[in-house]
Structure 1
Amino acid sequence: MPYTLKHKEQTRQRILQTAAKLFCTYGFDRVTLDQIMKKANMTHGAFYAHFSGKSSLYEAALQLAASHSFWARREKQSENKETHIKALLTRYLSWTRNSGDSPSPLEFLVTDAAHKEEKVRKAYQACFDSLVDRLTIILKKQGSTGDVKDLAEETVVSLVGTVAIARSITQPLQRDFLKRAQSRIFNRINLAIQDTKIVSDKC
């Protein structure tokens, strides 16, 4: 008896969710199809019924991760402006991860950004651009004006770079490193917002 469309979609989503978690933790090269399908409790035959190869799965998995990331969920929530942006930075640079949270698509190894496969690079770039666009919207809601996208891009670069460096630091020092980085980034954003408000008031 052939599988229903609903069953096929559930199978595809199961593969995607498993792949997203693994890719966002270890990066493209350190994850194999065997690992993904074993973790999903499925066969290789099931994989090739939905995806043409590993890079195609990577592209789709990152799109899923981006749409379900913490940043995507928080964007629409209304709360105190300062608490909102601080919550986003804290989540990205937090010492521990809540196992129930979806990982941010850019928290994995930054070597994916310069991967030899063009499809992998483009998928990484799309996630980067998406995060910058989301942060740009959030910063505008905070009252920031002017070169908001530049500020958003600078912030995302700082976050990604901080996480990449933090992973090479021993745990006793990592916590303080992340706290200092969070404080610097948050203060930079606040200063930029205050500066734009001052200019706006003078005008």
Structure 2
Amino acid sequence: MPYTPQHKEHTRQRILHAAAKLFCSQGFDRVTLTQIMKQANMTHGAFYAHFSAKSSLYEAAMQFATSHAFWARDDKQTEGKETHIKALVSRYLSWSKSDKEHPSPLEFLVTDAAHKEEKVRQAYQACFDSLVNRLAGILKKRGSQDANALAEETVVSLVGTVAIARSFAQPLQSDFLKRAQKRIVNRLNSGLSTVS
């Protein structure tokens, strides 16, 4: 008896969830299909029923992670200018305590941005663009005159900060992240200074 469309979609979602968690924590090159399918508690045959190659899975997993990451979610905080921006920056920079169920791919995958496989680079670029667009939308609502440039500058600062902080030991790491958070929030707020 063939599987139902609902069963097939459920299987695909399990693979994407497992792949997103692993890719977001380790990057493309360090994750194997065996690890992904073990995490999903499935066989390799299930993988090939949905994806043609690891790079195709990476692309789909990054779209999945992007759409489920904390910064992609709509919430009630979007009405409070400073509260929402501060929460967004704080949450992003607290990667060591980040959402384990739905991590943000940009937090960890700096090396994938310049990967040798075109699909991997394109998937990373799509994640980057999604975060920039989400933040630009928030900044536009707050009256920023140059929301796109400010959003891009902010995302670059966030990604770079996390990439550097990951190499530091405690307490240097915590101090570095606190200083970066203050600097980034102040820059964002200065870009919103024209808002009444």
Give 3-state SS (helix, strand or coil) of 1:149's partner: helix
- Cα separation, partners in 2 of 1:109 and 1:40, compared to 1, 3 Å: same
Give 3-state SS (helix, strand or coil) of 1:106's partner: helix
Larger radius of gyration: 1
Query: Is 1:15–1:37's contact at 8 Å kept on the other side of the alignment?
Result: yes
Count of residues in Structure 1 that have an aligned counterpart in Structure 2: 196
Whether 1:125 and 2:125 are equivalent positions in the alignment is yes
Aligned to 2:147: 148
- Which ranges in structure 2 are unaligned for 5 or more consecutive residues? none
Query: Is 1:131–1:156's contact at 8 Å kept on the other side of the alignment?
Result: yes
Query: Is 1:65–1:103's contact at 8 Å kept on the other side of the alignment?
Result: yes
Q: Aligned equivalents of 1:77 and 1:83: distance in 2?
A: 7
Give 3-state SS (helix, strand or coil) of 2:150's partner: helix
TM-score, structure 1 as length reference: 0.91
Instruction: Name the Cα RMSD after superposition.
Output: 1.7
User: Identity over the aligned pairs, expressed in percent?
Assistant: 75
- Aligned letter for 1:167? R
Structure 1, residues 24-51: CA drift from partner, whole Å, max 9, x if none?
Answer: 1111111111100011110000000000
Q: Aligned equivalents of 1:92 and 1:99: distance in 2?
A: 10
Q: Aligned equivalents of 1:100 and 1:164: distance in 2?
A: 18
Query: Is 1:93–1:178's contact at 8 Å kept on the other side of the alignment?
Result: yes
TM-score, structure 2 as length reference: 0.94
Q: Aligned equivalents of 2:113 and 2:99: distance in 1?
A: 25
- Aligned letter for 2:25? T
- Cα separation, partners in 2 of 1:75 and 1:161, compared to 1, 3 Å: farther
Q: Aligned equivalents of 1:149 and 1:75: distance in 2?
A: 21
Whether 1:180 and 2:179 are equivalent positions in the alignment is yes
Aligned to 2:42: 42
Residue 172 of structure 1: how far off its partner (Å): 2.0
Aligned to 1:192: 191
